[in-house]
Amino acid sequence: MSRIRLGMVGGGRDAFIGAVHRIAARLDDRFELVAGCFASTAEKSKASGADLGLADDRVYGDFTEMAKREGRLKAGIEAVAIVTPNHLHFPAAREFLKRGIHVICDKPLTSTLADARKLVRASERSGAVFVLTHNYTGYPMVRQARAMVADGAVGAIRVVQVEYPQDWLTTALEDTGQKQAGWRTDPARSGAGGSTGDIGTHAFNLARFVTGLELDSLAADLQTFVPGRRVDDNAHVLLRFKDGARGMLWSSQVAPGNENGLRVRVYGAVGGLEWAQEDPNRLWFTPFGEATRVLTRAGPGASEAAARVSRIPAGHPEGYLEAFATIYTEAADAISAQRDGSSTGLALLPGVQDGLEGVAFVDACVRSSKKNGAWVSLAL
Amino acid sequence: MSRIRLGMVGGGRDAFIGAVHRIAARLDDRFELVAGCFASTAEKSKASGADLGLADDRVYGDFTEMAKREGRLKAGIEAVAIVTPNHLHFPAAREFLKRGIHVICDKPLTSTLADARKLVRASERSGAVFVLTHNYTGYPMVRQARAMVADGAVGAIRVVQVEYPQDWLTTALEDTGQKQAGWRTDPARSGAGGSTGDIGTHAFNLARFVTGLELDSLAADLQTFVPGRRVDDNAHVLLRFKDGARGMLWSSQVAPGNENGLRVRVYGAVGGLEWAQEDPNRLWFTPFGEATRVLTRAGPGASEAAARVSRIPAGHPEGYLEAFATIYTEAADAISAQRDGSSTGLALLPGVQDGLEGVAFVDACVRSSKKNGAWVSLAL
Amino acid sequence: MSRIRLGMVGGGRDAFIGAVHRIAARLDDRFELVAGCFASTAEKSKASGADLGLADDRVYGDFTEMAKREGRLKAGIEAVAIVTPNHLHFPAAREFLKRGIHVICDKPLTSTLADARKLVRASERSGAVFVLTHNYTGYPMVRQARAMVADGAVGAIRVVQVEYPQDWLTTALEDTGQKQAGWRTDPARSGAGGSTGDIGTHAFNLARFVTGLELDSLAADLQTFVPGRRVDDNAHVLLRFKDGARGMLWSSQVAPGNENGLRVRVYGAVGGLEWAQEDPNRLWFTPFGEATRVLTRAGPGASEAAARVSRIPAGHPEGYLEAFATIYTEAADAISAQRDGSSTGLALLPGVQDGLEGVAFVDACVRSSKKNGAWVSLAL
Amino acid sequence: MSRIRLGMVGGGRDAFIGAVHRIAARLDDRFELVAGCFASTAEKSKASGADLGLADDRVYGDFTEMAKREGRLKAGIEAVAIVTPNHLHFPAAREFLKRGIHVICDKPLTSTLADARKLVRASERSGAVFVLTHNYTGYPMVRQARAMVADGAVGAIRVVQVEYPQDWLTTALEDTGQKQAGWRTDPARSGAGGSTGDIGTHAFNLARFVTGLELDSLAADLQTFVPGRRVDDNAHVLLRFKDGARGMLWSSQVAPGNENGLRVRVYGAVGGLEWAQEDPNRLWFTPFGEATRVLTRAGPGASEAAARVSRIPAGHPEGYLEAFATIYTEAADAISAQRDGSSTGLALLPGVQDGLEGVAFVDACVRSSKKNGAWVSLAL
């Protein structure tokens, strides 16, 4: 199977997530990085491109130029990874979608709800594959949790507890010139949400992914604890799902002792499930009235859903990069399927609609919190 | 030191918490059980009394009669443990307080806010010692957490996460004739709160105890998931504390896989703390920017606050009964101190005021939930 | 049921284990401490007796005198707890056994193999109940592990891994005047084994108790890491059991980070089990080819064997003192049964024969190690 | 930096470790797989080569032919990964070394000690880089443990506990036709050791890597529990290191509930360290007399040694493949350095000498066990 020609927008030197995307694209050998616009000046971009061994003429200082030229090249890129700060997701994605180039975009989808809606339409018009890297959905035991819930292992869901605490913004790191903290706390580049946008969207998406429940409404109490910060750094959110299930969501960037403590717990009429990102190869399952089982990736309790996205034997931990790579590999499957005119059946890949939901989640949190925690619905 | 003569109201055959109180009273050898009214008929009460080796004439079928007679006896009881269903706490306690008999009462204080207020006044009038068995405050590492917070180990508190999930009421156990489930889901005996009253009060008290923060207001979303149940069996509560700290509280009796999962996490400007009841001998402490420390009861990181209520060496687990016994032992200290006219300095013992707060917490949860999660204050 | 009159030898001020025995005796209310010889001088002994509220004329400075007088008293003690340093176990026990007074003795049984053998004979001659406080056998999940193994849950046993690491003797604590360290590292008072005697015997007993396997032979490599210490402070032991199972046993008092890390793992042809003292309410069970189950005390996976010695609901941790109390309570049952002439059926209580085995285990470790790790059998 | 041209011997369809090597080689983008001899017939080999997208004329059915041709090609492979069953490591490696092609070889080095010695000489003669994939040494927290030990964090080492339990050979899987089980339990292909060779060598290497201690002698008790099996499936080994430290090593393939439970614990005069492969992003460190610290990969307690081989932020788990990739990446560094004539300073890469030690370890275990556990030295 020939590798898909991939370009990248963003992800130059000092960026964190760009390197992650490149490893993820490479891990299962389905993509080849051949072009990029890694920075906002041609000079910086070329330097990063050289680091990565790209041909100089495939490295651009402007993503529109890149989209135009790559769209015309005979062996131009087939797909692009967009890993810029949030506010650039929309304008960048639009250019590539316009030319039928598949898009793999970091989350949240956009920095504003208006942009998100426009991007949904741009994606629909384009017909190209659009994948949003809600990477946590690529973990094998998250896949298994979803499959088990769908199969009724926990019964009708009653309660969902989801949280994503971190501690890296406990102090005003953005004032020190740290690049990641800088744009992530800048509403112009990040959007109206701070912790809600950066990690709350992951938590919300994970709860949605595992349970399949649709949100009815939420009530949010957002806080900004670090003086001078312009976006929320902690959020307490109550959730009401459409069929009567209820939930709580906590996102925080100011909780000392937490690194990337994403965790989801689902409780239904006949069982419970628990999964934590920092211990991703285990899924804790309790059929009500029986002892808790520790299901392990590739172990005796692992299901087909987990096995399909698992690479190595049980007890050999797979981690964040493997889960991220699964998103890329399934994106490759979807792109190949489209190329072949075959159906993909890859209903599990997060897409532009999930992205819209994520941005709407942030918007709803901000609206609710401004109304002192009133219940609001997603403005989809 | 001579042992304090103790009576008990409630706690006959089939009761769970009565036996716990008796072990707790006995463990440090500061009390001697000499009288009781263990059931609502003299016959049943006498049977339980005989099981416990009490003299027949010290076993009563009516707590008022017991209070009257014991109050007159030369060597009558000095203190009484009240371990009945909630609605009897007030009438029973009142009788003993009236006669200057010290009261050790199970939580929640009463089944109604009106009763709670009356009991506060009765307690104040009496001058007797009144202890409410918020037993989790007796755990050594909870004591240490409180002391560390007070000493500034986590800095100004920003976020409090507290939860108490159980699973025993996942099905309609109350319909099977199970006694515990029966009264705990009966508003007439338990009060307006279900999970909120039975375990939410513990969670709320623990958060208050560890942080010292006072509540400004709360917003609650209560649920009753089991059809036909008359009280909440799951509660999602947002908390706002007086100095700007915020919190979330979750209590549930329908979360399969959770036995008594009380857990509190406190995050401040310079550190974080975490403690869980099911692993009570460890306290996880992270000074921001440093590695997490696992502080163990009686281990090298244990403080004076923990050592004072610790009985055995590090690595030998102390549990629920020991923590409960600490409440009794400190009650004995308080009673002895009052007898001697000395000051106790036992500011840590939960008392009638904490009890009023707990009942007000339940009342506020119910009020807020009825108003669709509006912010309400405790009606103290 | 009237309480059994108990005396104690040893356990005065500064002793650790005496207080533990007293709490254990009291917890289930089956004993009443009425006499004691708490120290080697009458004066010190009386001071400790007064602390404990004993009548002055029931407090002795000499255990022989105590045995004689209590043996003659109409309401003299029925049982005695012996909690002295090891070398006094035999002479003390002998005096009480001689007078038909039941003995509850701390482990190891004696400081020498010769004494152990004599004590076995003294016990046989006496007919009194003799209980050795291998307290870890009182943990509910240890009971369950034993029952599961006996029921074939793991199949024919192949491998036993048992360890008991501590760290309190990492430095020469005995040189600081610390009393516990003093006698426990003095061969004259402790016996030829250091870590082997103090904790290795517990580990060996636990392996024996859970598996029911008899030892064929062992090969030991003992070490004394702290300069000047006169007994082993670390021991590596290979085990061969009679039916082909093999094991490893590690005891250490010099392993920083370990408090009382007793842990046993048993692997058979069809399953595995794991239990650790510092997390005693859980038992990890893996039927080969299935997911690991977390069996909890009083939880859905708990068996009758665990329930019988369990006091409180699942999720409320029971600990070291409760397990210790179970030994006392079963001793009370055995004593009562003997009084009544009924059969006890309490095959689970560790007795004098287990004590002999423990001392023989230490002796075998020392012999093997002196022969450079040659395989030796227990000299029973 | 241009990628190193890599060939592979072994690793065709159905092989486990070949795919792992390919991902590891690709993850950091330092190698390009261009040739291979994936099976023992040209037909099968070509099929695998086609799966991997290799040019047909670079796929061979014979490794000698491959070595010869690739050695002559202008753009022939610069390095070869050898991932065959053990008995082919030597003949294959020899052919490539002879032609100055760098070798990255799976462990154990060879199936016999004689071969191992020959391979050491072949490697020395060649001057090519020789890397043995003791992949666990690539874990960041293993690197940190080694650095901390070297820096004196635990002081003079006293005790080393290392274990590698698995359960996949609990039954006679080799009789079912399972390929992995087949060759790994066949002495002709695997060598004289079963669990000792397959995983005991990893455990031994890890202990050596972390502590830096040299072995003086060992005493082994090997077992074969599954009837009909021709190699050990469980091994109990006592270790004596040259400077007085002692250890225990357990390897097992018949311990139900264990997947890849490699774990090492090191105790010295002033501290202790613990690391487990199934939770690889944490390192537990106890300075004696202080609370245990949980050091996390890329977290505040992480050192330079860990950071150098770490790719993503703390709390995002890296796993087995990343650690394996680190070995490849450092191999690339070593190869590049040799190409440039620069010194590598990569003293951490496991090489042919470690491989010889591993084979000698297996040989010593077998010899000792045959002599009933006599102490023997490595026949280096």
pLDDT tens digit sequence for B238-280: 999 999 999 999 999 999 999 999 999 999 999 999 999 999 9
Please identify, among D93, D128, D163, the residue that sits at the C-terminal boundary of a domain: D128
CA–CA distance, D200 with D358 (Å, rounded to integer):
9
C29: Cα separation from own chain's centroid: 21
Residue in chain C closest to B297 (alpha carbons) equals C259
Residue B1 has pLDDT above 60, yes or no: no
Residue D345 has pLDDT above 60, yes or no: no
Q: What is the pLDDT of residue D353?
A: 97
In chain C, which residues have their Cβ closer than 8 Å to the Cβ of D284?
A: 257
Asked whether residue D53 is assigned to any structural domain, the reply reads yes
Phi, psi of D267 (to 5 degrees): -125, 130
CA–CA distance, B194 with B229 (Å, rounded to integer):
9
D178 with D280, same domain: the answer is: yes
Structure tokens at C160: 């036993």
Q: Closest approach of chain C CAs to the CA of D185, in angstroms? A: 18
Query: Strand D263-268 to strand D246-252: parallel, antiparallel, or no bridges (unpaired)?
Result: unpaired
CATH number at residue A198: 3.30.360.10
Q: Where are the alpha helices (DSSP H) in chain A?
A: 17-27, 42-51, 63-72, 89-98, 113-126, 140-150, 179-184, 187-190, 195, 201-211, 304-307, 320-340, 352-370
Q: What is the pLDDT of residue C354?
A: 97
pLDDT band at A340 (very low <50, low <70, confident <90, very high): confident
Which amino acid would we find at residue C367?
R
Nearest by Cα to A36 from A49, A26, A47 = A49
Q: Closest approach of chain B CAs to the CA of D293, in angstroms? A: 5
Count chain B–chain D contacts defined by CB atoms under 8 A.
32
ipTM score for this prediction:
0.96
Residue A188 has pLDDT above 80, yes or no: yes
CATH number at residue A27: 3.40.50.720
CA–CA distance, B329 with D273 (Å, rounded to integer):
39
The answer to whether the CB atoms of C259 and B314 lie below 8 A apart is yes
Please identify, among B82, B101, B128, the residue that sits at the C-terminal boundary of a domain: B128
Q: What is the pLDDT of residue A379?
A: 96
CA–CA distance, A109 with A90 (Å, rounded to integer):
8
Quick one: what percent of chain A has pLDDT higher than 90? 94
Q: Which helix (H) or strand (E) holds B370?
A: helix B352-370
The answer to whether the CB atoms of B290 and D296 lie below 8 A apart is no
Dihedral, A144, A148, A151, A156 alpha carbons, nearest 10: -140
Residue B346 has pLDDT above 70, yes or no: no
C109 with C35, same domain: the answer is: yes
Query: Strand A31-37 to strand A4-9: parallel, antiparallel, or no bridges (unpaired)?
Result: parallel
User: Residues C134, C209: contact at Cβ < 8 Å?
Assistant: yes
Residue D346 has pLDDT above 70, yes or no: no
pLDDT 10s digits, C344-358: 555 789 999 999 999
D260 with D191, same domain: the answer is: yes
The answer to whether the CB atoms of A318 and D315 lie below 8 A apart is no
Phi, psi of C222 (to 5 degrees): -95, 145
Structure tokens at A31: 């993509």
Please identify, among D128, D156, D178, the residue that sits at the C-terminal boundary of a domain: D128
Query: Strand B157-165 to strand D246-252: parallel, antiparallel, or no bridges (unpaired)?
Result: unpaired
pLDDT band at A260 (very low <50, low <70, confident <90, very high): very high
To probe the interface with C, which of A284, A294, A296 has the most C CB atoms within 10 Å? A294
CA–CA distance, D321 with A27 (Å, rounded to integer):
10
In terms of Cβ atoms closer than 10 Å to its own Cβ (0-12, 13-18, 19+), residue B155 is middle
Mean pLDDT of C193-221: 98
Q: Give the list of residues 6+ apart from residue A179 with CB closer than 8 angstroms, or none.
A: A14, A15
User: Residues B285, B272: contact at Cβ < 8 Å?
Assistant: yes
CA–CA distance, A355 with A365 (Å, rounded to integer):
15
Residues 320-379 of chain B with CB under 8 A from chain A are 372-373, 375
β-bridge mates for residue B215, sequence order: B241
Mean pLDDT of D193-213: 98
Mean pLDDT of A88-110: 97
Domain of residue C255: give its range.
139-312+356-370
Domains identified in chain D, total number: 2
In chain A, which residues have their Cβ closer than 8 Å to the Cβ of D322?
A: 319, 321
**Which bin fits A177, alpha (ψ -120 to 50), beta or left (φ > 0)?**
left
pLDDT 10s digits, D8-56: 999 998 778 999 999 999 999 999 999 999 998 999 999 999 999 999 9
Q: Which helix (H) or strand (E) holds A105?
A: strand A102-105
DSSP classification of residue B197: I
In chain A, which residues have their Cβ closer than 8 Å to the Cβ of D296?
A: 259
- What mean pLDDT value characterizes chain C? 96
CA–CA distance, A369 with A359 (Å, rounded to integer):
15
Q: What is the pLDDT of residue D13?
A: 85
Mean pLDDT of B61-71: 97
Q: Give the list of residues 6+ apart from residue A167 with CB closer than 8 angstroms, or none.
A: A252, A253, A254, A255, A256, A257, A258, A259, B267, B272, B286, B288
Would you call D111 an interface residue with chain C, using a CB distance cutoff of 8 Å? no
To probe the interface with B, which of D285, D292, D296 has the most B CB atoms within 10 Å? D292
Q: Is the pTM of the predicted complex or chain greater than 0.90?
A: yes
pLDDT band at C13 (very low <50, low <70, confident <90, very high): confident
Residue in chain B closest to C25 (alpha carbons) equals B27
- What mean pLDDT value characterizes chain D? 96
Asked whether residue B327 is assigned to any structural domain, the reply reads no
Would you call A41 an interface residue with chain B, using a CB distance cutoff of 8 Å? no
- What mean pLDDT value characterizes chain A? 96
Asked whether residue B330 is assigned to any structural domain, the reply reads no
pLDDT band at B340 (very low <50, low <70, confident <90, very high): confident
C43 with C149, same domain: the answer is: no
D145 with D290, same domain: the answer is: yes
pLDDT band at D344 (very low <50, low <70, confident <90, very high): low
The answer to whether the CB atoms of B294 and D292 lie below 8 A apart is yes
B92 with B162, same domain: the answer is: no
Count chain C–chain D contacts defined by CB atoms under 8 A.
124
C193 with C279, same domain: the answer is: yes
Q: Which of C259, C314, C321 sits opposite B318 (nearest CB)?
A: C321
D219 with D362, same domain: the answer is: yes
* CA contacts within 13 A on the Cβ side of D331: 39
The answer to whether the CB atoms of B158 and A254 lie below 8 A apart is yes
Count chain A–chain C contacts defined by CB atoms under 8 A.
32
CA–CA distance, D362 with D366 (Å, rounded to integer):
6
In chain A, which residues have their Cβ closer than 8 Å to the Cβ of C281?
A: none
Q: What is the pLDDT of residue D174?
A: 97
Would you call C225 an interface residue with chain D, using a CB distance cutoff of 8 Å? yes
The answer to whether the CB atoms of D294 and B299 lie below 8 A apart is no
Q: Which helix (H) or strand (E) holds D79?
A: strand D79-82
Residue in chain A closest to B284 (alpha carbons) equals A257
Q: What is the pLDDT of residue A2?
A: 83
Asked whether residue D379 is assigned to any structural domain, the reply reads no
- What mean pLDDT value characterizes chain B? 96
Would you call D295 an interface residue with chain B, using a CB distance cutoff of 8 Å? yes
Asked whether residue A134 is assigned to any structural domain, the reply reads no
Residue C343 has pLDDT above 90, yes or no: no
Asked whether residue C178 is assigned to any structural domain, the reply reads yes
Q: Closest approach of chain D CAs to the CA of B341, in angstroms? A: 41
**Which chains have at least 3 CB atom pairs separated by less than 8 Å from chain D?**
A, B, C
The answer to whether the CB atoms of D293 and B289 lie below 8 A apart is no
Q: What is the pLDDT of residue B60?
A: 97
CA–CA distance, B342 with A266 (Å, rounded to integer):
52
Mean pLDDT of A207-230: 98
Would you call D168 an interface residue with chain C, using a CB distance cutoff of 8 Å? no
Residue C125 has pLDDT above 60, yes or no: yes
For helices D113-126 and D352-370, angle between their N-to-C axes, nearest 10 degrees: 170
To probe the interface with C, which of D154, D157, D159, D195 has the most C CB atoms within 10 Å? D159
In chain B, which residues have their Cβ closer than 8 Å to the Cβ of D303?
A: none
A182 with A89, same domain: the answer is: no
Would you call B315 an interface residue with chain D, using a CB distance cutoff of 8 Å? no
Would you call B295 an interface residue with chain D, using a CB distance cutoff of 8 Å? yes
b/e burial code for range A275-285 (CB count within 10 A of at least 16 → b): bbbbbbbbbbb
Would you call D195 an interface residue with chain C, using a CB distance cutoff of 8 Å? no
C177 with C111, same domain: the answer is: no
Mean pLDDT of B278-305: 97
The full length of chain A comes to 380
D101 with D160, same domain: the answer is: no
Q: Which of A289, A291, A300 sits opposite C294 (nearest CB)?
A: A291
> In the block, which residue shows the tokens 């060597």?
B75
Q: Closest approach of chain C CAs to the CA of A221, in angstroms? A: 32
Asked whether residue D308 is assigned to any structural domain, the reply reads yes
Would you call C317 an interface residue with chain B, using a CB distance cutoff of 8 Å? yes
The answer to whether the CB atoms of C260 and B53 lie below 8 A apart is no
Which amino acid would we find at residue A164?
Y
Q: Closest approach of chain C CAs to the CA of D219, in angstroms? A: 8
Q: Closest approach of chain D CAs to the CA of A16, in angstroms? A: 8
DSSP string across D225-264: -STT-SS-SEEEEEEEETTS-EEEEEEES--TT-SS--EE
pLDDT 10s digits, A269-286: 999 999 999 999 999 999
Asked whether residue A320 is assigned to any structural domain, the reply reads no
pLDDT 10s digits, B91-145: 999 999 999 999 999 999 999 999 999 999 999 999 999 999 999 999 999 999 9
The answer to whether the CB atoms of B53 and C258 lie below 8 A apart is no
D310 with D244, same domain: the answer is: yes
